[in-house]
Chain A
Amino acid sequence: MAIFFQGCQFNCRFCHNPETINMCIHCTDCVKTCPVKALSVVDKKVVWNKDICVNCDTCIKTCTHNSSPKITYMSTDQVLEEIKKVRPYIEGITLSGGECTIQKDFIIELFPKVKALGLTTLLDSNGSLDFEQNKEILEYCDGVMLDVKAVNKDFSDWLIRYPNEVILKNLEYLLSINKLYEVRTIIFPDKDDNNKETVSYVSNIIKDKCFYKIIRYRQFGVREDERQVLGDYTTDEEYALRYVELAHSLGASKAYII
């Protein structure tokens, strides 16, 4: 079961769900455009009625703030109730986002309760939280799925608009304590040097110790202005496979394409 958290510090150009970047500022624009009146204003705040919503995503298209009104504030016990409902059908949970570690105190409270149900716990993270300085979050966590989007500093600043030092530090730290479940890197069309630098760097570090997902850039959901820059097409599979081969040749034998 995947649980998504709203909010992310990065502003990646290729983000294919940019509505998860910011928290809602309650400007109420979306309330006006909702075709089924699933959104309303209560105490100056936008409230989403899940039961009426038809998931047409008009609200997300209306939002000029990279946000979404379709979120629910929940306590860890409320989340736990939802997990219990599907307990027989799952082996574990994955926290994703947005960026889940922004709400690290919540996770520290939630994970032991999930573990008590006999489930596995994974974090899907952009790597912005310095895990070495926040060991508590890992205590009941089985592993981290870490995005390493760019190794070159200038490329990273341009691509994700956020410093990448902590991400690279996490890569080594998580591996050293055996909590790195997988690393993911996106392959962009026409960015040979950057693709090569990132894949080589990661492969040399992880070797065969964890999975390495090579992901093709896909234009779906990417903001229009960013599509103009990155490309309005999906990275060719054959092209991306070259980087899987590169990873394999550097010892990252668990690299594969998705």
Chain B
Amino acid sequence: MSEALNIVKDTTLTYKQQLLALARLGESTDDETIKFSDEYKKAKAEGALCDLNEGKLTYRPRYICPDYDLLFEKGCDFLELNPPKDLLEAINVLEIFYSHVPSVTAYPVYLGDLDRLLEPFVIKEDREYAKKVLKLFLLHIDKVLTDSFVHAVIGPKDSVTGRLLLELTEEMQLAIPNLTLKYDPELTSDDFALACVKCMLKTAKPSFANHRMFVKEWGERYAIASCYNGLLQAGGGFTLPRLKLFECSLNAKDPEDFINNELPKYIDLQLEYMDKKIKFCVEESAFFKSNFLVTEGFVKLENFTGMFGLVGLAECVNHLLHIEDNKKGFGMNKEATELGLRIMDAIEKRVSEHVAPYCDATNHRYRLHAQVGIDSDGMEDSPGTRIPIFAEPTILEQLQVNEKFHPYFPTGTGDIFKFEETYEKTPEAILPIIKGSLNNGLRYFSGYLESCDVVRVTGYLVKKSEIEKLNQKKQSLNNVTIFGKGAQDGGHALDRRIQKQNDISAG
């Protein structure tokens, strides 16, 4: 049976999911317009490099983060939208606009800093009325933008809109959109941050982004998109391939051979891939020439960058040091963690020496990304620089490892903590942990209670009850539920260590 026929006959896919699967199949044709070297093809075939199935003919950048302020200021000619004058119009303008924002998933991966955008309209309305409008807005997002990589942002400041979004997030228990709080203890009140912790425990969102760190790297106008990707507003990310570091390490004789010979080879091949993909996307495909987002200035070419991804640092290090038991390896053992840092230094240095095409906003350089894994990764490559599932130490030990690695990744990294039930009663114990860790260099913190239905898999959200539907061969509206199932079946992503009060009880 052909692959297309498989898709057409698959009863577990919704119509839209079939449409997207068929489109993806079309995109990954045998077209050879972009010519890759034999070395690149070989490394890809070996599994050392992965293009995340981006397809051969890139017809839009991978991640697009429109300038929603511009939309509210000027409206949109192409869509014949005027600047909104009240809350209903604002929501209507956003909903229309969202459905025209492409990405690798075909859905918008960045919905805007919603509280900041909507606050001027919300405060003019009665609170209950505003809440009802926002409720319908969130319902629209969950049922129309059916993909968990759709991501909204709140913070850093407290606002009526932010509070309403938190209340609704908890009441509605939906997986979409993903949500991040831009958190800065100087700008975010403890009370608002605590409300976010409470909501996070019950719905696995929002996550906490280190606002100061992102502002330092990107300026104030940064976006958090998809899983946890730092990018520029009015810009985005062209492409995101990844080194599978475990596979990259398989031919190395020892750590020195890896760092001096094998690693540079793979880095250069991935750079080759990125250069060629980006040139094609900018110079050949229509997007940067004719899409209204570009022609009307909602995104600007100079605000895009390339994301240099990697996974499996832990397994790479443990392999190089002949450590069989992950519990004695990367993250748990000083020598292994030090080697991890040396490898990261080597990657950062080599990537920063490469002049990248376009990427004006990032000084013509690519920025590193700790990729979150895909459903087929299994247990061989942990996401980014994470400690493997089943080997996690206590939360504070894990955070202390994370703090060393998160600064390397301006285009995104993060870790997830699963808390036991009793934390529901003591959310105030979690806030100082987040605060302390962000202050020590952590970039991005996610958490949820073990009993949650909405849970964070590796970076995105799914409902356990929806995974159960797939297990029973029923359809799930959310495109991403299937990834959650794969990550759980192959990578045990939902079985991460439960943080008990005895591990750290802060008073």
Contacts and interface: CB of A to CB of B under 8 A. Distances in A.
B396 A89 contact: yes
A231 interface: no
B506 A88 contact: no
Nearest to B426: A258
B504 interface: yes
A2 B396 contact: no
B399 A89 contact: yes
A156 interface: no
A74 interface: no
B425 A90 contact: no
Interface in A99-157: 120, 122
A89 B437 contact: yes
Interface string B400-436: 0000000000000000000000000100000011011
Nearest to B395: A89
A122 B507 CA distance: 8
Contacts of B399: 89
A120 B507 contact: yes
Interface string A31-70: 0000000000000000000000000000000000000000
A232 B458 CA distance: 39
B439 interface: yes
A89 B506 contact: yes
A122 B501 CA distance: 17
A1 B507 contact: yes
A2 B425 CA distance: 16
A91 B432 contact: yes
B6 interface: no
B425 A86 contact: no
Nearest to A2: B505
A89 B507 contact: no
A93 B506 CA distance: 6
B465 interface: no
Contact of B396 (A86, A120, A122): A86
A94 interface: yes
A94 B426 CA distance: 14
B116 to A, nearest CB: 29
A88 B506 CA distance: 11
B53 interface: no
B92 interface: no
Nearest to B432: A91
B506 A91 contact: yes
* Most B C-beta atoms less than 10 A away, residue of A88, A92, A120, A122: A88
Interface residues of B, number: 16
B439 A1 contact: no
B507 A2 contact: yes
Contacts of B506: 1-2, 86, 89-92
Given A88-B436, A88-B439, A88-B440, A93 B507 contact: yes
A89 B505 contact: no
A211 to B, nearest CB: 12
A94 B501 CA distance: 13
B505 A1 contact: yes
A120 B502 CA distance: 19
Contacts of A89: 396, 399, 432-433, 435-437, 504, 506
Contacts of B396: 85-86, 89
A2 to B, nearest CB: 4
Contacts of A120: 507
Given A89-B432, A89-B433, A89-B437, A94 B425 contact: no
A93 B399 CA distance: 20
Contact of A88 (B437, B502, B507): B437
A86 B504 contact: yes
Contacts of A93: 507
Contacts of B425: 258
A93 B436 CA distance: 15
Contacts of A85: 396
Nearest to B403: A88
Nearest to A93: B507
B437 A1 contact: no
A28 B502 CA distance: 26
Interface string B464-507: 00000000000000000000000000000000000001101111
A94 B437 contact: no
Contacts of B437: 88-89
Nearest to B507: A94
A92 B506 CA distance: 7
Contacts of A122: 507
A1 B439 CA distance: 19
Contacts of B439: 88
Interface string B38-53: 0000000000000000
B421 to A, nearest CB: 12
B326 to A, nearest CB: 16
A225 B432 CA distance: 41
A90 B440 CA distance: 13
Given A89-B396, A89-B433, A1 B504 contact: yes
Contacts of B436: 88-90
A258 B440 CA distance: 33
A2 B506 CA distance: 6
B325 to A, nearest CB: 13
A144 B506 CA distance: 16
A72 to B, nearest CB: 14
A258 B507 CA distance: 16
Nearest to B438: A88
A94 B437 CA distance: 21
A1 B506 CA distance: 4
A32 to B, nearest CB: 26
* Most A C-beta atoms less than 10 A away, residue of B425, B433, B440, B505: B505
21 contacts: A1-B504, A1-B507, A2-B501, A2-B502, A2-B506, A86-B396, A86-B504, A88-B437, A88-B440, A89-B396, A89-B432, A89-B435, A89-B436, A90-B433, A90-B504, A90-B507, A91-B432, A91-B506, A92-B506, A94-B507, A122-B507
Given A85-B396, A90-B432, A90-B507, 17 more contacts: A2-B501, A2-B502, A2-B505, A2-B506, A86-B504, A88-B439, A89-B399, A89-B432, A89-B506, A90-B433, A90-B436, A90-B506, A91-B506, A91-B507, A92-B507, A94-B507, A120-B507
Interface of B: 396, 399, 425, 432-433, 435-437, 439-440, 501-502, 504-507
Give 6 closest A-B pairs by Cβ, nearest first: A94-B507, A2-B505, A88-B436, A89-B436, A90-B506, A89-B433
